[in-house]
Amino acid sequence: MAGRKSPEFPAKESEIYKIPSVAGKAKQKSERQRIPEAVIKRLPRYFRVLRELFNSDVLRVSSGELAELMGMTASQIRQDMSCLCAFGQQGYGYGVKQLYTRISEVCGVSCRYSAVLIGAGDIGKTLIKNMIFEQRGVKLKAVFDTDRSVGTPVYDCTVMDISKFVGFCEENAVDIAVVCAASDAVPGLLKLIKQTDIRGIWNFSLCEISPEESGLSVINTALGDSLMLLTYEMTRENENKH
């Protein structure tokens, strides 16, 4: 991992992208060509790995080094970065900070969306405690629930009653609802959400929310699904030994 600062690798972005022809090419691509689905799905992992490198004061990284670190091919990494118009420099590699910043832009981390969490249970606490929101540029503005938990503190929020949900979201320009409620509460919550300007749902309930029906951006997390990928792999590994 090449970590030393060198005169050949200027820290300021403006110095790197000074050649007009390259800048022109990059712009054209970002406007015309959409980023392939497969690349998008890899971005969050790049994001995490690059942040760790940045925190370890690594200034630059080559596609070969990153490939080794992430268990993929250098070719794929260069292809991916090319899709993002995240240009490196021949002979030197990529600037860790520049790459991290570019991925943040593409993924909307720099948009600084605001969110509210519905359901003050264990999964909500996990997300808050692990700073899942902060690290992805999302500001958690409030936690809502019904019944007994209202008024109790959840880290730096106090649980509010769901009756205040619509009003709060309008006043605070909330973009994202994080749904951690029980399945049977979900249809009712969807009606409330539609009364606000919320445009995205991060759904941890066991009830799938359809992006088409809701007309919103939706990610259904399905917490248990990856356990089946694990048991599949364990079973297949076993078969291969016979």
Partner DNA sequence: TAGATTGTTAATCGATTAACAATC
Under rule CB under 7 A, residue 63 binds DNA: yes
CA dist 79 and 188 (Å) reads 44
Binders of DNA in range 19-38 (CB under 7 A): 19, 25, 36-38
Of 158, 137, 139, residue with least CA distance to 149: 158
Binding test (CB under 7 A) with DNA, winner from 30, 76, 101, 146: 76
CB distance 207 to 180 below 8 Å: no
3-state secondary structure of 153: strand
Strand pairing class (60-61; 200-203)? unpaired
Q: Which tokens in the block code for residue 162?
A: 């769901």
DSSP structure string for 174-198: --EEEE-S-GGGHHHHHHHHHTS--
Under rule CB under 8 A, residue 78 binds its own copies: no
Under rule CB under 7 A, residue 6 binds DNA: no
Residue 62's binding partner among its own copies, DNA, none (Cβ under 5 to 8 angstroms by kind) is DNA
Strand pairing class (176-179; 114-118)? parallel
Q: Which is nearer to DNA, 76 or 214 (CB)?
A: 76
Phi, then psi, of 171 in degrees rounded to 5: -65, -35
Binding test (CB under 8 A) with its own copies, winner from 94, 144, 165, 202: 202
Binders of DNA in range 184-223 (CB under 7 A): none
Under rule CB under 8 A, residue 38 binds its own copies: no
Under rule CB under 8 A, residue 222 binds its own copies: yes
Under rule CB under 8 A, residue 130 binds its own copies: yes
**Which stretch, 59-67, 109-117, 186-194, 223-231, contacts DNA (CB under 7 A)?**
59-67
CB distance 115 to 176 below 8 Å: yes
Residue 92's binding partner among its own copies, DNA, none (Cβ under 5 to 8 angstroms by kind) is DNA
How far from 126 is each of 82, 146, 155, 174, CA to CA, in Å?
35, 19, 11, 21
Under rule CB under 7 A, residue 79 binds DNA: yes
Under rule CB under 7 A, residue 93 binds DNA: yes
- Residues at the contact surface with its own copies, assessed by CB under 8 A: 40-41, 43-45, 47-48, 71, 106-109, 111, 113, 121-123, 125-127, 129-130, 132-133, 135-138, 175-176, 199-202, 206, 210, 212, 217-219, 221-235, 237
